[in-house]
C-alpha cells in the first residue's frame, strides 16, 4: 500500500508539471497566426506511416540512420512495458497485462531485446558526439548548452535502458530462484542471468525492485525534461509529420491579406465578405515570433537540431551565413523569450526586440535560394523555406528593404511593366538587324 501511495504521488507530480508545461506552450500558440487547414487525413496517415513510423528519410544516411530507427522502434515497443508499470504501480499488481498471452510474450521479448539494441545505439551516439568531429553537429547556433543538452538526454536514455535490463534480469532471476513462473519471455535477461546466478533470491528481488523504481522515476523525470530540451521531438516529431504541408515543396503559399486586396480590386463584395469591416490591419510577412503561423512554431519545437538541413544547404556549403537549423532554433528561442511577456501584457507588447535582425539577419534570409533541399532532407518534414520567404515578405512589403539587384527589378516592373530596364516600345530593338527568312 505504501508503494502505491508513493507511486501515485510521483505520478501526480509528473502529470502536474507536464500539464503546466503543455498549458504554457498552448498559451504561446495562441499568439501565432493561422496556417493551412488540416484535412486529407488519409493522405496524412500514409505520410506518417512512411516518414515517421518507417523512418524513411533517416535512411539517407544508412548506417547511423539504421541505429536511429532502431532506437525509435525500440521506444515504441518499450512504451508498452512502461504503461504496464504505471498500472502495476497504481493497483499494486505485478505483470497485470500477462492476460494478453502470446502477444504479451512477444512484446516482452521485443522490449528486452530492444533495450540492449537501444543501449548500444545510444553509446554509439554519445561516442560520436564526445570523441568525433561531426561537422553537422557544429555551427554558430550550436552553443555549449546545445551540446550539453544532447549529452544529458542521451545519458538519460542510456540509464533508462540499463535500468530496464537490470529490472528484467532481477525479475527473471528471483522468479526462477523462488520456483515461480516467469511471465513473458526475456531472451537477453535469460542469457545474462547465469552470470549473476550466484546472487541470492533476496538480492535479486532487491535488484528488481530498485531497478523498477529507478526506471519508472527516470521516465517521469525524462518526460518533464524533454519539453525543455532538444529531445522534445520525442513527443513532437510524429504529430509534426502528420501535420506536414501536403503541397509540393516548391509551391509557396499565398498571403491571405494580399489575396483580399486583389479580390477587392476585382470584386469589392467578395473582399468585404472575406475581411469584415473593422478587422485589424494585418502585418505583411513575419517580423517577430507572433507573426509566425502555428505550424512554423510547431516546426521549431519539433526540430531535433540534427543539422541534416544545414548540411545540404547550398548557401551554407558555399560559406554564406544561412543555416536552416538556426532559423528554427531562433524562432523557438524568440518565442520562449517573448511568449511569457505577451501572456502577461498582451499580444501587442513590445520589448524593443524582434526575431528579424536581433536574431536572424537580412543577410541570412537573402542567402536562401528556395531550392528546398533542407525541407527535402528534414527527417520530420519541417518546411524552412516558407518561413524564410515570409520574413522576406515583411522586409519587402513593410520596409521596402531588399538587395540592390532586386530593387532594380522592382523598379523596372513598376516603370516598364517587366523586369528589364527597357520600355515596352524598345523591347524588340534587338531584332532590327536580324535577317529572318520568311518562307
* Predicted pLDDT at 263: 78
| Span 120-133, average pLDDT | 92
Residue 17 has pLDDT above 90, yes or no: yes
Structural domains in the chain, CATH included, are 2-30+61-242 (no CATH), 256-423 (1.10.1060)
Q: What is the pLDDT of residue 430?
A: 79
Percent of the chain residues past pLDDT 90, beyond the cut: 67
Buried b (16+ CB within 10 A) or exposed e, 68-96: bbbbbbbbebbebbeebbeebbeeeeebb
Q: How confident is the model at residue 260 (pLDDT cuts 50, 70, 90)?
A: confident
pLDDT band at 379, cuts 50/70/90?
very high
Strand partners for 33: 293
Give the pTM: 0.88
pLDDT of 44 over the 90 cut: yes
Q: What pLDDT score was predicted for residue 133?
A: 85
pLDDT at 198: 83
Percent of the chain scoring above 70 in pLDDT? 96
The answer to whether the CB of 143 falls within 8 A of the CB of 326 is no
What one-character DSSP code corresponds to residue 437? Answer: -
Would you call 1 exposed, middle or buried from its count of C-beta atoms within 10 A (0-12, 13-18, 19+)? exposed
Residue scoring higher pLDDT (241 or 416): 241
How would residue 415 be classed by pLDDT, with cut points 50, 70 and 90? confident
Q: Are 243 and 41 in contact (CB under 8 A)?
A: no
Q: How far is it, in rounded angstroms, from Cα 139 to Cα 373? A: 18
- The pLDDT of residue 277: 54
CA nearest neighbour of 140 among 293, 291, 330 = 330
What is the spatial distance between Cα 167 and Cα 170, in angstroms, rounded to a whole number?
5
Q: What is the per-residue DSSP string for 331-377? A: HHHHHHHHHHHHHHH-TT---S--HHHHTB-HHHHHH-----HHHHH
pLDDT confidence of residue 266: 80
Mean pLDDT of the chain: 90
pLDDT score of 261 more than 80 = no
Q: What is the pLDDT of residue 212?
A: 95
Residue 404, pLDDT above cutoff 60 = yes
pLDDT of residue 418: 83
Quick one: average pLDDT of 25-50? Answer: 93
Q: Is the pLDDT confidence value at 10 over 90?
A: yes
Q: What is the pLDDT of residue 413?
A: 87
| Count of residues in the chain | 439
The answer, yes or no, to whether residue 239 has pLDDT greater than 90, is yes
**pLDDT reported for residue 280:** 60
Q: How confident is residue 264, by pLDDT bands cut at 50, 70 and 90?
A: confident
Structure confidence at residue 272 (pLDDT): 55
Amino acid at each position: 500500500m505504501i508503494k502505491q501511495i508513493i507511486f501515485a504521488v510521483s505520478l501526480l507530480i509528473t502529470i502536474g508539471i507536464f500539464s503546466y508545461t503543455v498549458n504554457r506552450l498552448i498559451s504561446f500558440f495562441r499568439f501565432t497566426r493561422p496556417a493551412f487547414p488540416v484535412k486529407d487525413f488519409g493522405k496524412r496517415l500514409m505520410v506518417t506511416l512512411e516518414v515517421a513510423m518507417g523512418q524513411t528519410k533517416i535512411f539517407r544516411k544508412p548506417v547511423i540512420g539504421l541505429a536511429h530507427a532502431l532506437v525509435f522502434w525500440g521506444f515504441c515497443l518499450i512504451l508498452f512495458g512502461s504503461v504496464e508499470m504505471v498500472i502495476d504501480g497504481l493497483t499494486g499488481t505485478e505483470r497485470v497485462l500477462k492476460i494478453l498471452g502470446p502477444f504479451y510474450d512477444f512484446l516482452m521479448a521485443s522490449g528486452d531485446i530492444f533495450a540492449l539494441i537501444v543501449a548500444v545505439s545510444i553509446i554509439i551516439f554519445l561516442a560520436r558526439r564526445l570523441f568525433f568531429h561531426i561537422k553537422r553537429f557544429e555551427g554558430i547556433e550550436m552553443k555549449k548548452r546545445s551540446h550539453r543538452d544532447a549529452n544529458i538526454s542521451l545519458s538519460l536514455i542510456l540509464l533508462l535502458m540499463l535500468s530496464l535490463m537490470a529490472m528484467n534480469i532481477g525479475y527473471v532471476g528471483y522468479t526462477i530462484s523462488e520456483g515461480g513462473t516467469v511471465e513473458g519471455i526475456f531472451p537477453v535477461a535469460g542469457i545474462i542471468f547465469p552470470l549473476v546466478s550466484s546472487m541470492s533470491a533476496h538480492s535479486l528481488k532487491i535488484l528488481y525492485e530498485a531497478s523498477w523504481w529507478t526506471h519508472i522515476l527516470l521516465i517521469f523525470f525524462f518526460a518533464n525534461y524533454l519539453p525543455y530540451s532538444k529531445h522534445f521531438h520525442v513527443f513532437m516529431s510524429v504529430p509534426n509529420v502528420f501535420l506536414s504541408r501536403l503541397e509540393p515543396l516548391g509551391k509557396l503559399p499565398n498571403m491571405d491579406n494580399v489575396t483580399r486586396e486583389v479580390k477587392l480590386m476585382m470584386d469589392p463584395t467578395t473582399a468585404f465578405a472575406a475581411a469584415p469591416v473593422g478587422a485589424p490591419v494585418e502585418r505583411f510577412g513575419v517580423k517577430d515570433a507572433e507573426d509566425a503561423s502555428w505550424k512554423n512554431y510547431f516546426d521549431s519545437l519539433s526540430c531535433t537540431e540534427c543539422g541534416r538541413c544545414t548540411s545540404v544547404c547550398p548557401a551554407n556549403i558555399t560559406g554564406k551565413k544561412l543555416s536552416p537549423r538556426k532559423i528554427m532554433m531562433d524562432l523557438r528561442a524568440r518565442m520562449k523569450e517573448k511568449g511569457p511577456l505577451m501572456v502577461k501584457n498582451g499580444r501587442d507588447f513590445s520589448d524593443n526586440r524582434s526575431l528579424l535582425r536581433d536574431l536572424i539577419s537580412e543577410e541570412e534570409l537573402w542567402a536562401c535560394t528556395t531550392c528546398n533541399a533542407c525541407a527535402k532532407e528534414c527527417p520530420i518534414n519541417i518546411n524552412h523555406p516558407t518561413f524564410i520567404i515570409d520574413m522576406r515578405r515583411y522586409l519587402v512589403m513593410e520596409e521596402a528593404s531588399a538587395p540592390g539587384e532586386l530593387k532594380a527589378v522592382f523598379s523596372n516592373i513598376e516603370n516598364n511593366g517587366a523586369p528589364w530596364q527597357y520600355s515596352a516600345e524598345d523591347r524588340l530593338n534587338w531584332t532590327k538587324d536580324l535577317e529572318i527568312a520568311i518562307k
